[in-house]
Amino acid sequence: MDSEYQRVITRLVLGLLATGCLLSMNAFAQDDPSTVAQTADDEVPMVMNNPGSIVERLEEDEEPKDHLVEFPSDATFKSWYDFKDNLDKKHGLNFGISYTALYQKADDSSGPEDDAAGYDLDFSGTWTFAGRGTDTPTMLGFGAFKRDTLGGANIPPQRLFTQYGGLYSNAAPYGENDAVIGEFWIQKKLSKEFGFRVGKIFPITAYDFFPFKNFRTDFVDFNHVTNNTIPLPGNGLGAFVQYRPLPSTMLRLGAHDANADVEKSGFDTYDGELFTIFEIGFDTNLMPRTPGRPPHGHIHVSFWHQDEREDAGIKDGRGVGLSAVQRFGRFTPFARYGYADVDDTRGPTSIEHMANAGVAIDDIFGQSKDRIGIGYTWSEPADPMLDNQQVIDAYYRVQLTREIQIGPTLEVTFDPVRNPSEDRVTVWGLRSRVAF
């Protein structure tokens, strides 16, 4: 990035944050819920938490769920849920624990392994320590996780694509990490129009709006967990500011450590090399919005720039991402596109063009939380020596009990770019999740 451009972006983010901190002095004075007048605008509060974020995962896990069986019975965990509910009501503290396991097997492999298994153990929560019940809440978000192989597998699902020659990971989040703090941030709404977040942030859940990017419950391949033309950094230092000029319009500007490493904290990796992103989002308002939750219909544009990462040997790059999603009853079709202006194989992303489309279908066989998802992705690599690749990704999830989900996953890769001897590789899998 040009040094002047970097200075402008950095000053803009820091300036907006400083302005927010000054304005928050007035907001804190109005934190008593009894002093806040209710208006019609309260029905559409500014939403700062994208699908897949800590806040949204907790909301989804706590929603009532149709389920097949009561084993263990719902009464078994009643005291646990009562305890959590009291913590939330009295102190604004909300948390959840989940364990997700994934097994995958490829029908062909040019490497020594053709299957993989791994797990994700997650503890996440929020503490709204000021402004509960007002338009200007202050929230602490925190999350820790551990990921590893499972059942004697030699590799985690994250690396299975290296064995059959795919362009990108078929299960990016299911890797190997020691127990680590993944997120620790402060989020402040200064009004119904303005807010910010700062701290250790997971950018994948903060940008590129897509309602099915929660790898624990929805798609697992890298392109659906994120737009693979956008080199969003890992968990690390960063900040964003958000402004809502109109009830259905969102502007978001963020800056993050381009060298972020989830297993390193603080300024260990920060050396002035930034990933910056600016987003514009428009709610379609074709379906009534659930207050405080992401919209059912949304059009989103993301513009990004990443500095050159000298020590990593990665050149700078820039690009744009587009997405459109709209729910119609049980059906939610989506379409996404990404372009990265990168310098061959040394750019920040290995994909130059990406087009993705699909649909999610809810309420399968009468159960509201059961879902089928299917997506198709076409990718053009940044390396001109590689051919294009096509992938079909699908999953089915069944709500077995209130706490347990289970279901198959399926990925079909056509013309895997690093395995030219194969026209097609099929990876089937089984995923299970327990959350309480």
Residue whose entry in the numeric block shows the structure tokens 């450590």: 257
pTM across the whole model: 0.86
**Nearest in space to 285 (alpha carbons), one of 322, 337, 247, 252:** 247
Q: What is the mean pLDDT of residues 164-192?
A: 93
Mean of per-residue pLDDT scores for the chain: 87
Whether residue 86 is contained in a domain is answered as: yes
pLDDT tens, residue by residue, 72-96: 666 678 888 899 999 999 999 999 9
| 124 CB-contact burial (10 Å; exposed 0-12 / middle 13-18 / buried 19+) | buried
- Through-space distance between the first and last CA atoms of the chain, rounded to whole angstroms: 44
Report yes or no on 380 lying in a domain. Answer: no
Cα dist from 163 to 38, 248, 382, whole Å = 58, 45, 21
Q: How would residue 271 be classed by pLDDT, with cut points 50, 70 and 90? A: confident
Per DSSP, the residues of 112-165 read: S--EEEEEEEEEEEEEEEE-TTSSS-EEEEEEEEEEEE-TT-SS-GGGTHHHHT
> Which domain does 187 fall in, by range?
3-32+45-328
Q: Does residue 400 belong to any structural domain of this protein?
A: no
Question: How many domains would you assign to the chain?
Answer: 1
- Alpha-carbon distances, residue 177 vs 57, 156, 157, 232 (angstroms): 21, 11, 13, 19
Highest mean pLDDT among 56-65, 261-270, 282-291: 56-65
Determine the pLDDT at residue 72: 63
In a domain, 359, yes or no: no
Please check whether residue 369 lies inside any domain of the structure: no
d(C-alpha 280, C-alpha 303), whole Å:
9
Answer yes or no: is pLDDT of 235 > 60. yes
pLDDT recorded at residue 17:
43
Contact 393, 374 (CB under 8 A): yes
Residue with tokens 């053009």: 380
pLDDT value for 43: 52
Strands (E), 190-287: 194-201, 236-246, 249-257, 274-283
Whether 409 is covered by a domain: the verdict is: no
Q: Is 329 exposed, middle or buried (0-12, 13-18, 19+ CB in 10 A)?
A: exposed
Q: Does residue 249 fall inside a structural domain?
A: yes
396 pLDDT above the threshold of 80 = yes
What is the chain's alpha carbon radius of gyration, rounded to the nearest angstrom? 21
The answer as to whether 117 is a domain residue is yes
Residue 335 CA to residue 323 CA, distance in Å, equals 6
Query: Region 375-400: what's the mean pLDDT?
Result: 94
CB atoms near residue 396 (< 10 Å): 17
Reduced to 3 states (helix: H, G, I; strand: E, B; else coil), residue 274 is strand
Cα–Cα distance measured from residue 335 to residue 375, given in angstroms and rounded to the nearest whole number? 9
- Spatial CA neighbour of 211 closest among 320, 360, 97: 360
Percentage of the chain lying above the pLDDT 90 cut: 68
Q: Give mean pLDDT, residues 13-42.
A: 39
pLDDT digits (tens, 9 = 90+) for 125-166: 999 999 998 889 999 999 999 999 998 999 999 999 999 999
Q: How is residue 430 written in tokens?
A: 């089984």
pLDDT in tens, 274-331: 999 999 999 999 988 777 788 899 999 999 999 999 998 999 999 999 999 999 999 9
Cβ atoms of 256 and 274 closer than 8 Å:
yes
Q: Could you give phi then psi for residue 314, rounded to 5 degrees?
A: -115, 125
Q: What distance in Å separates the CA atoms of residue 161 and residue 141, rounded to the nearest whole number?
A: 33
pLDDT of residue 420: 83
Q: Exposed, middle or buried by CB within 10 Å (0-12, 13-18, 19+), for 310?
A: exposed
Question: Hey, how many other C-beta atoms are within 10 angstroms of the C-beta on 268?
Answer: 14
DSSP state string for 298-309: EEEEEEEEE--B
- The identity of residue 168, as a single letter, is Y
DSSP 179-226: EEEEEEEEEEE-SSSEEEEEEEE-GGGTSS--TT--TTTS--SHHHHS
**Cα–Cα distance between 377 and 394 in angstroms, integer?**
11
Cβ atoms 342, 348 nearer than 8 A: yes
pLDDT at 421: 84
The whole-angstrom separation of Cα 336 and Cα 322 is 6
